[in-house]
């Protein structure tokens, strides 16, 4: 027994610090943890214990693997953007095509994992909030697959704005709970969903939509998204015989970025998380938490967030609704503080230009969120020495077409760049 203990310790010491995160309390350095009322803490402990047990079981691992292959269509390919790269200069830009994952984005990776966990726990309802509706659609898809009822809480303002996603959720059989208090947007939807969950935590499970929230969600969602980085590293080496110099991903809460970063943390690869700078650097005009925020607790975890003078979450803005979140996953706060990852930004304007540029050079319409990563990659690509850049294309842009043509239609007539 003693010997086993000391050999475990010796192994732990050999593992790089970033791979020992989070600790048992869910802290990545000083970030993360769980700052929730006692009744919710009890539920989080239960979910954590169950996850730690189930995620190591062969049945769980092989069922998730089979779902990824036969239902989601994984592995998604990586792709060399010859036209785009040659247009910009001598650097090479590659994409990890999460837009080709079923439902058109990376979000299904963690929703299928969360719903599979719910199945193993015998839960009879999946609960979540949604803002723009992307998380709601992915969870509704997972619910339909497993035959587990889904309840999505959504502000009335968002319901009116995000009509196509509301319809998708309905077609998939999800129940939509309209929230009519306060500003009737995401924050009120979170409160409403938590309240519903606490009414029956034994039979339901709350499914968080990114690497945020109290422990164990940042850990769990990262592990479900890790497949993106595992595949990308293997595929990149197979395609080129090398590692990329840079990996670039957009960061809202940070799940698609943590997914692809996970594959390259131990490699000599620079990792860039691109946040939305919206209309500019003034508070209220963007959602670049890592670049412009400070330490604080919100939604049950400690991280780097955008706060007003009283310490409350500041209003945030981005043309990409999946990125306008006033905090960021705690692991991003940790990796950015240690210097392992770098925070970058792209404005609305830069993202829209990248949206048209990728569409026209490669025939791939990116999600506005992903267009932020493309925008930054095209800037990196002009730097010397020439670089090899892998971008996580987190989703496809069909959902953004009406918005882009209505607000930025004039760009369609200009030749970008
Ligand atoms: C939701 C969403 C994002 C932002 O979420 P992360 O957790 O930061 O990955 C990015 N891209 C797309 C396509 C999304 O739907």
**Residues 128-178: pLDDT tens digits?**
999 889 999 999 999 999 999 999 999 998 898 888 999 999 999 999 999
Ligand 1 atom closest to Cα of residue 251: 8
* 35 domain-assigned: yes
Same domain membership, residue 330 and residue 298:
yes
Average pLDDT (35-44) is: 92
* 364 domain-assigned: yes
Distance CA 261, CA 394 (A): 13
Distance CA 7, CA 171 (A): 54
Residue 70 appears among annotated catalytic residues: no
Same domain membership, residue 240 and residue 196:
no
Q: How far is CA 39 from CA 46, 151, 177, 195, in A?
A: 11, 21, 23, 11
Distance CA 390, CA 271 (A): 10
Same domain membership, residue 45 and residue 165:
yes
Ligand 1 atom closest to Cα of residue 256: 9
What average pLDDT is seen over the chain?
Answer: 94
Asked whether residue 32 carries a pLDDT value surpassing 90, the answer given is yes
Distance CA 76, CA 151 (A): 29
Full-model pTM: 0.94
List the Cα angle 203/205/210 in 5-degree steps.
175
Same domain membership, residue 190 and residue 138:
yes
* 244 domain-assigned: yes
List the Cα angle 376/373/162 in 5-degree steps.
135
Write down which residue in 217, 251, 286 finishes a domain. 217
Same domain membership, residue 180 and residue 248:
no
pLDDT in tens, 336-384: 999 999 999 999 999 999 999 999 999 999 999 999 999 999 999 999 8
* 181 domain-assigned: yes
Q: Which residue's CA lies nearest to atom 5 of ligand 1?
A: 252
134 lines ligand 1 (CB under 6 A): yes
Distance CA 52, CA 49 (A): 5
pLDDT in tens, 318-336: 999 899 899 999 999 999 9
Write down which residue in 172, 199, 217 finishes a domain. 217
Catalytic residue among 18, 55, 102, 106: 106
250 lines ligand 1 (CB under 6 A): yes
Same domain membership, residue 409 and residue 293:
yes
CA trace torsion 32, 269, 265, 291 (10° rounding):
0
Average pLDDT (387-395) is: 98
Its domain, for residue 386, covers 73-105+226-414
* 15 domain-assigned: no
Pairing relation of β-strands 204-206 and 246-250? unpaired
Same domain membership, residue 207 and residue 256:
no
Q: Tell me whether residue 394 is exposed, middle or buried, using C-beta atoms within 10 angstroms of its C-beta: 0 to 12, 13 to 18, 19 or more.
A: buried
Same domain membership, residue 299 and residue 158:
no
Reported as a pLDDT band with limits 50, 70 and 90, residue 415 is low
Q: Which residue's CA lies nearest to atom 2 of ligand 1?
A: 322
Are 178 and 159 in contact by the 8 Å Cβ rule? The answer is yes
Reported as a pLDDT band with limits 50, 70 and 90, residue 52 is very high
List the Cα angle 51/143/182 in 5-degree steps.
90
Domains identified in the chain, total number: 2
| 339 Rama class: left (phi>0) / alpha (psi -120 to 50) / beta | left
Residue 276 alpha carbon to ligand 1 centre in Å:
12
Are 400 and 367 in contact by the 8 Å Cβ rule? The answer is yes
Write down which residue in 217, 246, 270 finishes a domain. 217
Q: Where are the beta strands (DSSP E) in 82-183?
A: 92-97, 125-129, 150-155, 175-179
Same domain membership, residue 182 and residue 96:
no
pLDDT in tens, 190-215: 889 989 999 999 999 999 999 999 99
Distance CA 309, CA 305 (A): 12
* 207 domain-assigned: yes
Distance CA 186, CA 158 (A): 8
User: What is the per-residue pLDDT for 16?
Assistant: 79
User: What is the per-residue pLDDT for 417?
Assistant: 53
Same domain membership, residue 326 and residue 254:
yes
Q: How many CB atoms lie within 10 A of CB 373?
A: 32
Average pLDDT (76-85) is: 98
Residue 284's contacts (CB-CB under 8 Å, 6 or more residues apart) are 314, 315, 316, 317
Neighbouring-strand partners of residue 295: 304
Reported as a pLDDT band with limits 50, 70 and 90, residue 7 is very low
327 lines ligand 1 (CB under 6 A): no
Of 11 and 84, more confident: 84
Residue 81 appears among annotated catalytic residues: yes
CATH number at residue 34: 3.40.50.1100
* 285 domain-assigned: yes
Same domain membership, residue 126 and residue 41:
yes
Same domain membership, residue 184 and residue 100:
no
User: What is the per-residue pLDDT for 140?
Assistant: 98
* 3 domain-assigned: no
Asked whether residue 246 carries a pLDDT value surpassing 80, the answer given is yes
């Amino acid at each position: 027994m003693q010997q086993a203990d000391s050999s475990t310790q010796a192994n732990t010491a050999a593992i790089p610090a970033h791979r020992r995160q989070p600790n048992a309390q869910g802290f990545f350095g000083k970030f993360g943890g769980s700052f929730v009322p006692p009744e919710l803490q009890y539920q989080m402990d239960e979910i954590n214990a169950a996850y730690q047990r189930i995620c190591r079981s062969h049945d769980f691992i092989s069922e998730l693997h089979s779902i990824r292959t036969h239902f989601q269509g994984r592995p998604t390919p990586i792709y060399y953007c010859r036209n785009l790269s040659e247009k910009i200069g001598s650097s090479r830009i590659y994409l990890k095509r999460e837009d080709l994952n079923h439902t058109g984005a990376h979000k299904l990776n963690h929703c299928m994992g969360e719903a599979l966990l719910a199945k193993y726990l015998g839960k009879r309802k999946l609960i979540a909030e949604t803002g723009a509706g992307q998380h709601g659609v992915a969870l509704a898809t997972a619910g339909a697959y497993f035959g587990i009822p889904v309840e999505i809480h959504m502000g009335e303002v968002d319901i009116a704005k995000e009509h196509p996603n509301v319809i998708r959720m309905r077609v998939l059989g999800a129940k939509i709970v309209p929230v009519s208090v306060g500003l009737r947007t995401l924050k009120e939807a979170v409160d409403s969903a938590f309240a519903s969950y606490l009414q029956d935590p034994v039979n339901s499970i709350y499914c968080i939509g990114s690497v945020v929230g109290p422990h164990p969600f940042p850990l769990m969602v990262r592990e479900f998204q890790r497949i993106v980085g595992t595949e990308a590293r293997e595929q990149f080496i197979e395609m080129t015989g090398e590692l990329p110099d840079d990996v670039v991903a957009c960061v809202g809460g940070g799940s698609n970025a943590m997914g692809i970063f996970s594959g390259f943390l131990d490699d000599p690869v620079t990792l860039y998380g691109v946040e939305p700078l919206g209309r500019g650097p003034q508070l209220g005009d963007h959602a670049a938490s890592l670049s412009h925020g400070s330490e604080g607790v919100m939604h049950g975890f400690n991280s780097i967030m955008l706060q007003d003078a009283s310490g409350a979450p500041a209003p945030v803005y981005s043309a990409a609704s999946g990125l306008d979140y006033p905090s960021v996953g705690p692991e991003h706060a940790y990796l950015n503080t240690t210097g392992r990852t770098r925070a970058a930004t792209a404005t609305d304007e830069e993202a829209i230009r990248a949206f048209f540029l990728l569409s026209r050079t490669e025939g791939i319409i990116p999600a506005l969120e992903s267009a932020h990563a493309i925008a930054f990659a095209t800037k990196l690509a002009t730097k010397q020495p020439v670089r090899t850049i892998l971008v996580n294309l987190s989703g496809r842009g069909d959902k953004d077409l009406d918005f882009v043509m209505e607000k930025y239609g004039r760009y369609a007539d200009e030749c970008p760049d």
